[in-house]
Amino acid sequence: MNYTFHRSVYVWLWTGIILISLMIIIGGVTRLTDSGLSMSDWNLIMGSIPPMNETDWQQTFERYKEFPQYQQLNAGMSLEKFKGIYFWEYLHRVLGRVVGIVFLIPFGYFWAKGYFDSRLLKRMFILLGLGALQGAMGWIMVKSGLVDIPYVSHYRLAAHFMLAFILIGFCLWYALDLRNRSIQVLQKSILRKWLSVVGVLFIIQLIYGAFTAGLDAGYIYNTFPKMAGQWIPPTLAALDPFLLNLIENPGTVQWIHRVTGTLLLISVVIFWWKSAVQQSKSKWLQAMSGALLTIILLQYLVGVLTLVNHVPISLGVLHQGIAILFWIIFLTIAHRLKY
């Protein structure tokens, strides 16, 4: 890709990456504090203004009491505790609006200035479309928990989560295309093969991480490496038909998350060995593959600590944050190997 390099566009795309990453992290806090259903209305303009006085707070709290989460799970909740969960959902939504503004206004400016050729302009419209889809998916996800059952479907949660990672991926890839840098390696095809294995396993791991969160699967079998004293959970095939266990049985979902995480770690070790040890021609690749290995080792450790400590908010959010960093480094390596 030979695009005219405009540093302002490059910085703009990286700003998007940082803001979306922050959205994922705050979204993780929102999920772990069960704050996502605390705001029952969605108003693009007025929804940016929080309750400003005690009367506003009482009205907002009374509105919350009309919905299943309060009635079935939080009956008797104090106003002060409600303010706590409201804060995280409010912050999450406001940041979403900030992301929209940061994308739309500079996009219009760069377009008017002629910074985009036809192909790059199409890419920018893809970004805007994905951003709009992400916003819609977020509201659909919340809306589903306001009727009858006060829970968000883990399928919708996974879709919302994966869209955020896809957005980061598109922003990063487009930014890297603007720089258009390449490296020299000895056996690029072998490295691509193993990096593809890493990528597939990582995507599966992201999906099952979202399933684990959505099903509250991290709150059971809080021992490692065995589950209830066994290598395979005793509830592995509790649902009928069996295939349903792979996507709806909390114990089985957690087990798949563990196994995939272990396979991902092994695949990164192999990629590191082949790139850092066998590909001495590229110091950059040695450093980046070493960084990828370091991050996955840290991620594995944090994942285990999160599990055995019954998912404290700090470790759960850190676990998500490390995943974002892994994704960014993985895509950076993939981009240079491709070109």
Degrees to nearest 5, angle at CA 332 with 2 and 155 = 110
Give the span between the Cα atoms of 320 and 179, in whole angstroms: 28
| CB distance 251 to 227 below 8 Å | yes
What band does 60 get if pLDDT is binned at 50, 70 and 90?
confident
Residue 294: is its pLDDT beyond 90?
yes
* 313-338 vs 283-308: helix crossing angle, rounded to 10: 160
Q: Picking from 4-18, 94-108, 135-149, which range would have the lowest pLDDT averaged per residue?
A: 135-149
Q: What's the pLDDT score for residue 38?
A: 81
What band does 26 get if pLDDT is binned at 50, 70 and 90?
very high
Mean pLDDT of the chain: 89
Give the span between the Cα atoms of 138 and 17, in whole angstroms: 18
What average pLDDT does range 50-66 have in this prediction?
A: 88
Specify whether the backbone of 221 is left (phi greater than 0), alpha (psi in -120 to 50) or beta.
Answer: left
Residue 48: is its pLDDT beyond 80?
no
* DSSP, res 4: P
Q: Answer with the residue of higher pLDDT: 103 or 46.
A: 103
* Phi, psi for 230 (deg, rounded to 5): -125, 155
Counting residues of the chain whose pLDDT is more than 70, the rounded percentage is 92
Q: What's the pLDDT score for residue 37?
A: 79
Q: What's the pLDDT score for residue 71?
A: 85
Q: What's the pLDDT score for residue 65?
A: 87
Neighbours of 23 (CB within 10 A): 22
Q: Picking from 253-257, 286-290, 305-309, which range would have the lowest pLDDT averaged per residue?
A: 286-290
What average pLDDT does range 327-337 have in this prediction?
A: 94
CB hemisphere CA count around 339 (13 angstroms)? 15
Give the span between the Cα atoms of 298 and 303, in whole angstroms: 8
Q: What's the pLDDT score for residue 2?
A: 47
Name the pTM for this structure.
0.91
| CB distance 93 to 117 below 8 Å | no
